Amino acid sequence: MMINTIHLCVIKSPYKCTCTVIVSEVIMKNKEHTRQVRDTVVKKFKAGFGYKNISQALNIPRSTVQAIILKWKEYQTTANLPRPGRPSKLSAHTRRRLIRDAAKRPVITLDELQRSTAEVGDSVHRTTISRILHKSGLYGRVARRKPFLKDIHKKCHLKFATSHLGDTPNMWKKVLWSDETKIELFGNNAKRYVWRKSNTAEHTIPTVKHGGGSIMVWACFSSAGTGKMVKIDGKMDGAKYRTILEENLMESAKDLRLGRRFVFQQDNDPKHKAKSTMEWFKNKHIQVLEWPSQSPDLNPIENLWKELKTAVHKCSPSNLTELELFCKEEWEKISVSRCAKLIETYPKRLTAVIAAKGGATKY
Ligand SMILES: *[C@@H]1O[C@H](CO)[C@@H](O)[C@H](O)[C@H]1NC(C)=O
Ligand SMILES: *[C@@H]1O[C@H](CO)[C@@H](O)[C@H](O)[C@H]1NC(C)=O
């Protein structure tokens, strides 16, 4: 209450700088006198004087008198008590759960956290939740769109770029590029916030579910156009990946007339690099392009993913069945010339990587 009084003084004073000095003096004086003043207030109150009378006699605001009396009634003392802070509205269990949820799914929103805590009977304001997360070192940050490149990754990118810079355009025409991506039903490309420790810089994949869910697809393409696209049902593992390759790789290569001696590109996901998968490639005499880790900039399919997602969301799919249908339709619609252009300009991409010393590029 005393503090409130001082604030009023700050606001009213037209001289900010001078006022700062006054404020600190007031606080100092308060520290010296408050206990005494408070004792006098209580004594007078006990003697039967009213708030107004005490306020006038001691020249302190009535609200202050009232606060002193209330506190004295509650604690039976006028001593300075340690500030208890705001009492915790959440149980320790709920707090742990909040922190665990945000760490496990960094893209979870405050609203979602609020709803889930309300479900277990702890209804609190969102600011309370964010305060708890801050205390544990988790802050809302804009999700990184690109992976954080460690020096080792940059080195590998640079090595890849320099070693392939001399490749003929024909070599790139023989590559079948592949990747998996998640497509959201109600996705948007807006900035996305994630919970993360201030200094961590790991790649944050935007995998938010906007209620409607999402699907995961695998697809491939070459300079001659888009290959097959399949929806991945359930969790992807090595065996599932091999099945996808089994059912789609050779057929796509054939459709795109890549010939027998084509090169297959995939990233270094452990599911792609499983021993049995590598053996499968060997048995099929499929050459696999040695690929640097953490290098979406180097995979031209990333550009197609972006264009595909924009096109699909323009169709406004209303459920996951439609989403899959539109994905496949829009994938097929991507023109051969678009694919050819991406591959024609591939050497430019390599020079950009070299110029960036292996770091991130505009691609
Ligand atoms: C407070 O009350 C006492 C006793 O009724 C009275 O003598 C005194 O004048 C009052 N003081 C003020 C400031 O009203
Ligand atoms: C998905 O939406 C389409 C168009 O609104 C509808 O015809 C179809 O029945 C829906 N499918 C499911 C599984 O809800």
From 40, 46, 53, the mutation candidate for ligand 1 (largest count of ligand atoms within 8 A of CB) is 53
Domain annotation covers residue 222: yes
Q: From CA 160, how far away is CA 361, in angstroms rounded?
A: 14
Q: How many angstroms is it from 233 CA to the middle of ligand 2?
A: 19
Contact in structure between 157 and 292 (CB atoms under 8 Å) = yes
In a domain, 202, yes or no: no
Residues 96 and 60 occupy one common structural domain: no
Residues 122, 158 within the same domain: no
SS3 per-residue string spanning 273-310: HCHHHHHHHHHCCCEECCCCCCCHHHCCHHHHHHHHHH
Alpha-helix residue ranges (DSSP H) falling in 47-109: 51-58, 62-75, 92-104
β-pairing verdict for 193-197 and 214-222: unpaired
* Boundaries of domain holding 108: 92-135
Q: Residue whose CA is closest, atom 9 of ligand 1?
A: 53
- We report the CATH number of the domain holding residue 300 as 3.30.420.10
Which residue owns the Cα nearest ligand 2 atom 1?
319
User: Does residue 363 lie in a domain region?
Assistant: no
In the listed set 75, 101, 119, which residue is the last one of a domain according to the structure? Answer: 75
Residue nearest atom 10 in ligand 1 by C-alpha distance = 53
> Ligand 2 atom 13: the closest Cα is on which residue?
321
Q: What is the pLDDT of residues 28-67, one digit of tens each?
A: 444 445 788 889 999 999 999 999 999 999 999 998 899 8
Q: Tell me the whole-structure pTM to 2 decimals.
A: 0.57
CA distance 26 to 20: 10
CB of 62 closer than 6 angstroms to any ligand 1 atom: no
The structural domain count of the chain equals 3
Q: Ligand 2: does its nearest atom lie under 6 Å from the Cβ of 269?
A: no
Helix (H) or strand (E) holding 149: none
Sequential pLDDT tens for the chain (363 residues): 333 333 333 333 334 333 333 333 344 444 445 788 889 999 999 999 999 999 999 999 998 899 888 888 877 777 776 555 555 667 888 888 888 888 888 778 888 888 888 877 777 888 888 888 888 877 776 665 556 678 888 999 999 999 998 899 899 999 999 999 999 888 654 445 666 665 554 444 444 434 578 899 999 999 999 999 999 998 899 999 999 999 999 999 999 999 989 999 999 999 999 999 999 999 999 999 999 988 888 999 999 999 999 999 889 899 999 999 999 999 999 999 999 999 999 998 999 888 888 887 777
Q: By alpha-carbon position, which residue is closest to atom 4 of ligand 1?
A: 49
Same domain membership, residue 127 and residue 65: no
Query: Which pLDDT score, from 0 to 100, does residue 95 have?
Result: 86
What does the alpha-carbon distance between residue 302 and residue 18 come to, in Å, rounded to a whole number? 60
Q: Are residues 105 and 177 in the same domain?
A: no
Question: Is residue 224 within 8 Å of 339, Cβ to Cβ?
Answer: yes
Nearest atom of ligand 2 to the alpha carbon of 319: 1
Q: Are residues 242 and 104 in the same domain?
A: no
Residues 240 and 333 in one domain: yes
Residue ending a domain, choose from 26, 50, 75 = 75
Distance 53 CA to ligand 1 centre (A): 6
